[in-house]
Structure 1
């Protein structure tokens, strides 16, 4: 019995290497940020938990939930599509729970200080991302059962809208996270060069994790009008 030899192209090898680098960058940014938080704030500090929970939600959890559908993503290549959907849903569910808890921490913190809620760009974008996350969950369920809903709309329409709203939720949430880096509580912890490097790395993480989703959106859009 002979086994067919699969030829691996140079492009594929390069994509695997870049994917590996991506995961390393996610790990470095996550560990460094969490170390900054826990090293500079007491555990009972409510604002610290706001930063911890929201950072964990967007950098490792949402990034990994989105990129797992990419064909060159190393850790999810062996998963069948239904299992990928489950893992995607679980990661996003944990992420949204973390964001919800993080926002609740900041609301409590502002109530204690007597500060108005949702007035800064950081707060407004964070709220918009949180609301879009719940919309994305509902659309995700529609997308999962799209075949059963084909009398209402073509399955590709449900999938496109879910994909688009999910990307918007993630991108706006990352924007909120980066805006938060410039606020006093975090800004005092880092130098100017560290801040610039951090924002650049988060931007790279966001772009690379969404790359396959962008391609999927484009393909779905073409199918909608074909």
Structure 2
């Protein structure tokens, strides 16, 4: 996380596409939002996570949605900053993936809200199916955000600032960390599918 933020501060963005300060603020806000807060939101529910494992289940859930809400708020702010300074939007893969994040995240929050009230709503949608939908959408959102970061690294300006090998290393590292972070939710998905297929949907 530190390197792209350092890049944002040190780099003098000479581009007609967007204002230099807007690009800097976009990076400084969106990187912590998606790579720190969203990651911690995922980890808060992991049974092996250091800071959240001593918490009660209700507090873990509370931490999960608070972190997620903060991440989304910052993500929206960072996106609005860059959008307001550009005339053309979503022309790059980085931008399109960012748009996907902004689009998917409200669905994640909505399904998360439904999960909180899953038991009273079980007549309309079984609890485990509700949770499965939430986890799958959440994983897709986090994967999109990480992919957007990787395509941000892949931009020519960043490659020129670092170098090819280091940039490729950052992309690989981001992919590896993302895979690790998504491992526990993936296990949850398989567990839920198994229970659903065994008609244990209550």
- Compute the TM-score of the two structures, normalised by the length of structure 1: 0.80
| 1:151 pairs with 2:123 | yes
Higher RCO, 1 or 2 (CA under 8 Å, sep at least 6)?
Answer: 1
CA displacement 1:61-96 (0-9 Å, x = unmatched)? 111111222221111110111101111111111111
Equivalent runs, 1:55-94 vs 2, <5 Å: 55-94=31-70
Offset at residue 41 of structure 1 (A): 4.6
What is the SS of the residue equivalent to 1:45?
helix
Relative to structure 2, which stretch is displaced further, 50-59 or 140-149?
A: 50-59
Map of 2:80 onto structure 1: 104
Equivalent runs, 1:34-53 vs 2, <5 Å: 34-41=5-12, 45-53=21-29
CA displacement 1:85-118 (0-9 Å, x = unmatched)? 111111111111111111111112213xxxx211
| 1:173 pairs with 2:145 | yes
Tell me, yes or no, if the aligned pair for 1:46 and 1:105 is still in contact at 8 Å: yes
Map of 2:3 onto structure 1: 32
Tell me, yes or no, if the aligned pair for 2:108 and 2:138 is still in contact at 8 Å: yes
Map of 2:97 onto structure 1: 125
Distance 1:80 1:56 in 2: 26
Distance 2:72 2:57 in 1: 22
Equivalent runs, 1:197-212 vs 2, <5 Å: 197-212=169-184
User: Which runs of 5 or more residues in structure 2 are unaligned?
Assistant: 14-19
What is the SS of the residue equivalent to 2:179?
helix
User: Which runs of 5 or more residues in structure 1 are unaligned?
Assistant: 1-29
Offset at residue 184 of structure 1 (A): 3.5
Which structure is larger by alpha-carbon Rg, 1 or 2?
1
Map of 1:24 onto structure 2: none
Q: What is the RMSD of the two structures over their aligned residues, measured on CA atoms?
A: 1.5
Distance 2:12 2:117 in 1: 45
Distance 1:173 1:144 in 2: 24
Offset at residue 57 of structure 1 (A): 1.5
Map of 1:189 onto structure 2: 161
Distance 2:51 2:36 in 1: 14
Tell me, yes or no, if the aligned pair for 2:8 and 2:23 is still in contact at 8 Å: no
- Compute the TM-score of the two structures, normalised by the length of structure 2: 0.90
CA displacement 1:6-40 (0-9 Å, x = unmatched)? xxxxxxxxxxxxxxxxxxxxxxxx22322222233
Tell me, yes or no, if the aligned pair for 1:133 and 1:169 is still in contact at 8 Å: yes
